[in-house]
Amino acid sequence: MHIVVNGWFAGQSTTGSGQYTDQIVRHLAAAGHRVTLVIGDWGLGTGDWGSGTGDSEAIGRLAIERLEIAPRWPFVSRHTQSPIPSHQSPITKLWWEQITVPRAAKRLGADVLLVPYWAAPWWQPVPTVVTVHDVVQLILPEYRGGRLFQWYTRLVSATVRRAAAVLTVSHASARDIVTKLGIRGERVFAVHHGVNGDMSAAEDAAFLDVVRAKYKLPDRYFLYLGGFDVRKNVDGILRAYARYLEKGGDPAQKLVIAGKLPVTDTDFAPDPRRMAADLRLGDHVHFTGWVDDAEKPALYALATAFLFPSRYEGFGMMLLEAMAAGTPVVTSKK
């Protein structure tokens, strides 16, 4: 089977959609399918990857990430397309999803077009399968966005109904898709994630020592690792930890908060450093900043428990990673 994949997020390992794209492309190729990844050529330099003129730091990072796709996926074809206009913007993304990718799928003679995130095209010249990880913007008011984003949500809600099949990552998300998008249940397929990465490093004592020293980890700690948008409920973690100390909890049991911290402190992405200061937690909370994927198993394995009381998740990959590392998990029902 020839599967053409929308590669908008290809190589962007700092995003959930990027990691999902990387893994599904890798495993489809390993299963013997012919896979063609359609990528854009903005800011990608010269050669088979095209030539672009993007000169911003962000475009440069994206160029490097996408150039690194080649050695990771030696059995995946890469088909470069130029969206119009030739720079990244909301219009570029829309043109890419609605015009460039379906055109490429038709021209390449695809048996299936796979869109690994919620952005199926309206025109579907070949059978189209789209992955909807969650419908958080239809569940939580904080995620509805402004008028432009709400219009985009209405568009992709309509296009997903035209798809041959809808993939999602959990039965909970499948129920939300059926309820919120009005899609028949027999067209929605829950395909669970596997563990993202090799967790055997969690058993390597020397590696654990290296990671503990690199991130200056305390001897004992509770761990949060993830994003900082409001649904992650990091404020709830900090308040619960403050209460733990107030009730006589061991002050040697620290709280480690890992992940790329917000650049600005907003209602949508509150800065946990400010929240910790408001709660007068001082040195009890340790912020590691960004953690390399290869070192995450050690952070999990060294923790007393992993805290993840999110208000809404499609799957919650970090829960699976923590359990695979042998770490107890404290989470919420959703």
pTM here is: 0.82
Residue 334 confidence (pLDDT) above 90: no
Rounded mean pLDDT, 112-127: 97
Backbone angles phi, psi at 133, to 5 degrees: -70, -40
d(CA 74, CA 78): 10
Per-residue pLDDT band for 91 (boundaries 50, 70, 90) equals: confident
Q: What is the overall mean pLDDT for the chain?
A: 86
d(CA 38, CA 112): 13
User: Is it true that domain 199-331 has CATH number 3.30.428.10?
Assistant: no
pLDDT of residue 293: 86
Q: Taking the CB of residue 182, how many other CB atoms lie within 10 A of it?
A: 9
Residue 43 confidence (pLDDT) above 80: no
pLDDT of residue 80: 58
What are the structure tokens assigned to 137, written together?
């913007």
* pLDDT, tens digit, 9 for 90 and up, residues 94-112: 988 999 899 989 998 999 9
Per-residue pLDDT band for 57 (boundaries 50, 70, 90) equals: very low
Percent of the chain with pLDDT over 90: 65
Collect all residues with Cβ–Cβ distance below 8 Å to 193 and sequence separation of at least 6: 20, 169, 315, 317, 320
Rounded mean pLDDT, 147-157: 95
Residue with tokens 């890798």: 26
Bridge partners (DSSP) listed for residue 2: 34
Comparing 113-117, 200-204, 224-228, 311-315, the range with the smallest average pLDDT is 200-204
pLDDT of residue 19: 85
What are the structure tokens assigned to 284, written together?
């009890």
Higher per-residue confidence, 163 vs 19: 163
Highest mean pLDDT among 6-10, 47-51, 126-130: 126-130
Residue 235 confidence (pLDDT) above 60: yes
Q: Which of 166, 221, 59, 329 is nearest to 174 (CA)?
A: 166
pLDDT of residue 58: 39
pLDDT of residue 74: 53
Rounded mean pLDDT, 243-264: 96
Residue 50 confidence (pLDDT) above 60: no
Q: Taking the CB of residue 165, how many other CB atoms lie within 10 A of it?
A: 16
Per-residue pLDDT band for 73 (boundaries 50, 70, 90) equals: low
2-190 and 199-331: identical CATH topology: yes
Pair 100, 77: CB distance under 8 Å: no
Phi-psi region of 98 (alpha: psi -120 to 50; beta: other; left: phi over 0): alpha
pLDDT of residue 61: 39
Per this entry, what is the length of the chain? 334
Indicate the class that CATH gives domain 2-190: alpha beta
Rounded mean pLDDT, 256-275: 95
Collect all residues with Cβ–Cβ distance below 8 Å to 310 and sequence separation of at least 6: 226, 231, 232, 233, 316, 331, 332, 334
Domain residue spans in the chain? 2-190, 199-331
pLDDT of residue 78: 57
d(CA 304, CA 210): 18
d(CA 116, CA 131): 5
Rounded mean pLDDT, 270-287: 97
Rounded mean pLDDT, 156-178: 96
Percent of the chain with pLDDT over 70: 84
pLDDT of residue 86: 45
Pair 174, 192: CB distance under 8 Å: no
